[in-house]
Structure 1
Amino acid sequence: MLSIPLPFLAGLVIALTLHANLKGVSAPGPRWVFTAFLIFYALQGLIVGLRFGYGVEALAPVQPVTAAAMPPLAALAFLMLADRPPQRLWLHALPPVLVALGVLLFPPAVDIVLFATFVAYGLALWRVARGGEAAAAEAEISRMLPILRTARLTAVLMLYFALTDAMLSIYTLFAGRAVVPMAVGLMNIGAIVLALLSYLAPVAVAPSARSDAGLVPDGTPAPVAAPTEAAEDAALLRQINAALDATFRDEALTLARLARKAGLPARTVSAVINRATGYNLSQFVNNRRVAEVCRLIETEDRPLTALMLEAGFSTKSNFNREFRRVTGLSPSQYRAKMRRSAAARA
């Protein structure tokens, strides 16, 4: 009976985990590179599984070349997602080319090149991921945090595989290759655990530094107060608010699009919002959307779902959660409250 090799399962699990977290990437540049990366990741799991699970040694020369292609693809995808397209695209083709030359001409160099590639790109990707919201400027705002989590997971996996492969290579120099299949299996179990922990862990949302969230006495959502930082921040925030007024209804709104509309760099937009209002970007945008829904509730009697979609929310769960965060009430409770207030005034 055929069995499914563990490396194949590991590649599939991790590829599916990354895919689930990258659903909000609609920009064509990052999208195709992400797709290529996921294909290579799953392909690498298949190659390793066939080689060590079924002894298909004909794949031995292919395995390091496909492995060397994955770090550059991941880095390119996240750089494009951060609206930072690389200047010298051809440089990222060097790792698989060098590994292929090593396989043909000087096999001892292959492990060294692979180790350097995974470490260099892993550290670079970790730095990109630590850039905060600007590192996912081309992603839908509602998906930014899962995508940042995916960038960190990808960086950790690169460093993890660099370390474990190096340890395995050193071990085989002195003790032979008898334990390689078992070691590969253990390495892939570790990778699966890392991927599942990343997928199952809740997405952290930066807490608001403001204390006035909720309802003001007349029952309307508390507005974002004018910033008290620098006059420059106040001027920039006015630009950002003007841009948001023109774009918040787009459910696929991205930081990059908002920044372009405001005429500012994406990093500046994110930093000014965080510093001047105490909200993260998602909260800032959703505050405006909730305010619009509240205005529509007070003036129209259409179904709440229609108002939700008109204001830019794409899912009911996110709409209900954000509406309650801002107002302290569910949308239906808020509508009932407004109707009671209107009846009392009449």
Structure 2
Amino acid sequence: MLFVPLPFVVAVLLVVLLVQMIRRSDGTDRNPFFLALVSVYALQSVVIGVRWGYDVLEVLPVQAVLAVIIATLAWLSFEGLRSELPPAQRPWLLLHLLPTLAVIGLVAFWPAPVSLAIILVFAGYGIALSRLAFAGPDALGSSRLDGVISAYRALQVTAFAISSSALTDIVISWDFAASGGSHSARIVAIGNVLALLVLGSAATVAGTSRPEERDESVAEEGASPVLPSAEDTEIAAALDRLMQARELYRDVDLNLNRLARKMGLPARQVSIAVNRVKAMSVSHYVNDYRVREACRLLADTDRAVTGIMFDAGFQTKSNFNREFLRVTGMSPKAWRANALATNKSGATIIRLAG
């Protein structure tokens, strides 16, 4: 019977994710690092399968180089969600080639410290990703507000996985020193499954939206709530007027950076004002407007729910249903039926706004 290592199965699943991402990107993806990340993870899974499934030691140098590339691409992918600059215009981009070039040099001329170099690279990028995650969802200013919570959860998982990889490499080194690597195959297999989880999250960021129920981003300014200043209140009021007058929430590609530009203010200042005055993240703030508009259309028209979803500014059905449930406590179809049955749709919308 032909033996098919688990990493080969993981590689096939990653290729499926990659194909889905390419189809959904429509050639307009402004953050190609996510596509590159999934591609390299698929290749790494094949290399790991060859190494541990068939005991081919010759692929070890390739595995080491790909590991460093993965850590680098993970950072570049999520760091790119902070700014709308295209990759070619991002400062210090070429500096991120140095870890890979350094490991290639070590593999070729001085293999002894390769493992230590990989551990240091993963630890460094893990810390950087963790700091970005600590800033909260609103730090991902160029991510669509329709799916920014998914992006943030993916960032948290990736930060944990990259940081854990450094720890895993240390454990494997100890295992080789103590028992000749008798447990390393199992450790690598578990780590590869974790990689699939990370890539599933990355695929969510790049194309599929799978929002979470709650957003804990208000903790950005610390655990204790901070009272809004007069400036915060003024910014929040100006944002309310802008949202109502220009109906910006209808833009499915709306993000924090774009919103801040329309106000002529730094994105962080807008985020802090919304956090303090509204006691919610910018993504929840905008989605509240979208849900109110959806409620109005559900009550006043007989249009299909899907059409209303797009008109209100949502791009995915899963996010629409999740946010609608968060705001109203029921599904869109149930809300429409309730509004029609009670014949008090106007009063219902007023309650939502309050």
Q: Where does 1:17-36 land on structure 2 (aligned, <5 Å)?
A: 31-36=31-36
Whole-Å Cα distance in 2 between the matches of residues 60 and 23 of structure 1?
33
Cα offsets for 1:97-154 (capped at 9, x unmatched)? 0111001110012111111000000111111112112232222222212211111211
Q: Which moved more, 1:49-58 or 1:68-77?
A: 49-58
The aligned counterpart of 2:312 is 311
Inter-partner Cα distance in structure 2 for 1:251 and 1:5? 42
Alignment-derived partner of residue 44 in structure 1: 44
Number of the residue aligned with 2:6: 6
84-93 or 38-47, which moves further after superposition?
84-93
Matching residue within 179, 204, 215 for 1:206: 215
For residues 1-346 of structure 1, the aligned pairs below 5 Å read 1-10=1-10, 31-83=31-83, 86-173=90-177, 175-177=179-181, 179=182, 182-192=183-193, 203-206=212-215, 229-245=228-244, 246=246, 247-296=248-297, 300-316=301-317, 318-327=319-328, 330-338=335-343
Residue 219 of structure 1 corresponds to which residue in structure 2? none
CA distance in 1, matches of 2:25, 2:116: 34
Give the superposition deviation at 1:155: 1.6
C-alpha displacement of 1:299: 5.3
CA distance in 2, matches of 1:174, 1:184: 15
2-side partners of 1:3 and 1:15: how far apart? 20
| Counterpart residue type for residue 311 of structure 1 | A
Change (3 A) 1:84 1:47: same
- Which region of structure 1 is more displaced relative to structure 2, 1-10 or 11-20? 11-20
Write out per-residue CA displacement over residues 46-92 of structure 1, whole angstroms, 9 at most, x where no aligned residue: 11111221133332221111111111111011111122865211210
CA distance in 2, matches of 1:156, 1:208: 18
- Change in CA separation of 1:10 and 1:135 when aligned onto 2, cut-off 3 Å: farther
Q: Is the 8 A contact 2:84 2:142 kept in 1?
A: no
Q: CA deviation at 1:192?
A: 2.2
Letter in 1 for 2:212: V
Q: Which residue of 2 aligns with 1:212?
A: none
| Residue 36 of structure 1: how far off its partner (Å) | 0.7
- Which moves more between the two structures, 322-331 or 257-266? 322-331
Q: Where in structure 2 are there 5+ consecutive unaligned residues?
A: 202-209, 219-226, 348-354
Letter of the 1:258 counterpart: L
Distance across 2 between alignment mates of 1:92 and 1:208: 29
Matched residue count: 320
**Structure 1's 331 and 314: CA in aligned 2 closer, same or farther, altered over 3 A?**
farther
Q: More deviation in 13-22 or 162-171?
A: 13-22
Q: Which range is displaced more, 4-13 or 18-27?
A: 18-27
Tell me if structure 2 keeps the 8 A contact 1:14–1:195. yes
CA-atom RMSD in angstroms:
3.7
Match of 2:207 in 1: none
Matches of 1:303 and 1:28, distance apart in 2: 28
Q: What SS does structure 2 have at the residue aligned with 1:81?
A: coil
Which residue identity lines up with residue 61 of structure 1 in the other structure?
P
Partner of 2:204: none
Partner amino acid, structure 1, of 2:77? A
SS in 1 for 2:113: helix
Identity %: 35
CA gap of 1:33–1:49, structure 2 versus 1, over 3 A, is: same
Q: CA deviation at 1:321?
A: 4.7
Aligned 8 A contact 1:138 1:254 in 2: yes
Between stretches 150-159 and 3-12, larger displacement belongs to 3-12
Report the CA distance shift for 1:30/1:54 in structure 2 as closer, same or farther (over 3 A).
Answer: farther
Structure 2: distance between partners of 1:208 and 1:120? 24
- The alpha carbon displacement at 1:96 in A equals 1.0
Please identify the structure whose Cα radius of gyration is greater. Answer: 1
Tell me how far 1:339 sits from its aligned partner.
6.2
* Pair 190,51 (structure 1): closer, same or farther in 2 beyond 3 Å: closer
Q: Distance in 1 between matches of 2:263 and 2:82?
A: 17
- Give per-residue Cα distances to partners, 1:280-338, cap 9 Å, x unaligned: 32321122123323444565554454333322133455445544544456133224434
**Range with greater deviation from structure 2 (91-100 or 49-58):** 49-58
Q: Counterparts of 2:161 and 2:216 in 1: how far apart (Å)?
A: 28
If the length of structure 2 is used for normalisation, what is the TM-score? 0.76
CA distance change for structure 1 residues 124 and 171 in 2, over 3 Å: closer, same or farther?
Answer: same
| TM-score (normalizing by structure 1) | 0.78
Residues 322/145 of structure 1: CA separation in 2 closer, same or farther (3 Å cut): closer
**2:212 match: secondary structure:** coil
Q: Match for 1:310: what amino acid?
A: D
| Compared CA separation, residues 333 and 70, structure 1 to 2 (3 A) | same
> Unaligned regions of 5+ residues in structure 1, if any?
210-227
